[in-house]
């Protein structure tokens, strides 16, 4: 049986995907995440602003200055925590935009390449409906074993982090806690030593460094795509693809 090219990755197209991704991440850090570089100073300014606002209410005959400074410190702590929460949500939003764009580009590329050698709506619909791990199965029987690559775990973790950020509690959160617990830090355990009893989806945390790791995994993915992915007699397609392929053949 003569091998045929099932998927092609042209060099110029690969480079355009990489440049677009790098631009997104670089600009997100420069224009969005950089705003959280000095939140300690921002919190101090909030405390000073509170003191200035309340200074007119201070009466040395009846007020203890320590009470005012303690209340200002509480304001600083609250302001700092609100900014940290906003920073976390912003990082998660950047990660979600980054991941969803990559996943759409992957599906679009697969759809386009498959259309060169197969016609049918069933396969097209499945390409846009299957989960990422199911999509990747299509390459496992070929020369490109994606799941064995070092970057795949980061892509899988990114998928779950984005799903939890979007949907909250559910199967993705349970899988994230089990497989990638570093994204759900147990702050209660750090204080009490009691492990994992109160973890919820609101404990999801993503640092800038972890965002960069996800970004690097996407870059490594695009760089690792073989220029040509061939069919072979030993190639076994996943069941979802086989069923859709057969449906298209029966409908033609």
Q: How far is CA 12 from CA 15, 39, 141, 198, 227, in A?
A: 5, 41, 26, 49, 11
Q: pLDDT, tens digit, for every residue of 211-225?
A: 999 999 999 999 999
Residues 195 and 79 sit within 8 Å (Cβ to Cβ): no
Q: Is residue 79 part of a domain?
A: no
Q: Is residue 47 part of a domain?
A: no
Q: Is residue 75 part of a domain?
A: no
Residues 129 and 191 sit within 8 Å (Cβ to Cβ): no
Cα-Cα-Cα-Cα torsion 14, 20, 26, 31, nearest 10 degrees, comes to -170
* Per-residue pLDDT band at 1 (split at 50, 70, 90): very low
Q: Is residue 240 part of a domain?
A: yes
Q: Is residue 205 part of a domain?
A: yes
Best CA proximity match to 6, nearest among 223, 228, 245: 228
Q: Is residue 86 part of a domain?
A: no
The range of the structural domain enclosing residue 211 comes to 5-34+92-251
Domain count, the chain: 1
Q: Is residue 85 part of a domain?
A: no
Give the span between the Cα atoms of 110 and 118, in whole angstroms: 12
Q: What are phi and psi of 137, to 5 degrees?
A: -55, -30
Give the span between the Cα atoms of 77 and 81, in whole angstroms: 6
Q: Which residue has the higher pLDDT, 86 or 142?
A: 86
Q: Is residue 29 part of a domain?
A: yes
Please report the sign of the dihedral spanned by the C-alpha atoms of residue 126, residue 132, residue 138, residue 144: positive
Q: pLDDT, tens digit, for every residue of 29-62?
A: 999 999 999 999 988 888 777 777 666 665 565 6
Tokens 């000095």 correspond to what residue? 38
**Residue 192: is its pLDDT beyond 70?**
no
**Residue 236: is its pLDDT beyond 60?**
yes
Q: How far is CA 227 from CA 18, 37, 75, in A?
A: 15, 41, 57
Residues 141 and 241 sit within 8 Å (Cβ to Cβ): no
Q: pLDDT, tens digit, for every residue of 115-145?
A: 999 999 999 999 999 999 999 999 987 778 8
pTM of the full structure: 0.90
Give the span between the Cα atoms of 111 and 223, in whole angstroms: 19
């Amino acid at each position: 049986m003569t091998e045929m090219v099932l998927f092609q990755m042209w060099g110029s197209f690969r480079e355009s995907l990489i440049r677009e991704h790098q631009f997104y991440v670089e600009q997100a850090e420069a224009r969005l995440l950089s705003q959280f570089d000095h939140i300690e100073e921002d919190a101090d300014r909030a405390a000073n602003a509170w003191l200035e606002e309340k200074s007119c209410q201070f009466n040395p005959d009846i007020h203890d200055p320590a009470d005012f400074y303690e209340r200002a410190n509480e304001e600083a702590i609250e302001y700092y925590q609100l900014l940290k929460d906003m920073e976390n949500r912003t990082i998660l939003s950047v990660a979600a935009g980054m991941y969803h764009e990559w996943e759409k580009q992957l599906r679009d590329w697969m759809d386009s390449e498959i259309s060169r050698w197969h016609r049918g709506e069933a396969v097209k619909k499945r390409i846009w409906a299957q989960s990422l791990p199911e999509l990747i199965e299509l390459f496992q029987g070929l020369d490109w074993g994606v799941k064995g690559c070092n970057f795949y775990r980061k892509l899988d973790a990114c998928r779950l982090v984005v799903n939890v950020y979007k949907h909250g509690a559910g199967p993705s959160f349970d899988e994230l806690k089990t497989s990638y617990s570093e994204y759900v830090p147990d702050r209660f355990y750090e204080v009490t030593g009691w492990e994992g009893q109160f973890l919820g989806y609101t404990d999801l945390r993503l640092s800038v460094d972890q965002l960069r790791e996800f970004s690097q995994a996407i870059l490594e993915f695009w760089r690792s795509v073989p220029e040509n992915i061939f069919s072979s007699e030993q190639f076994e397609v996943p069941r979802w693809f086989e069923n859709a392929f057969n449906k298209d053949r029966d409908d033609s």
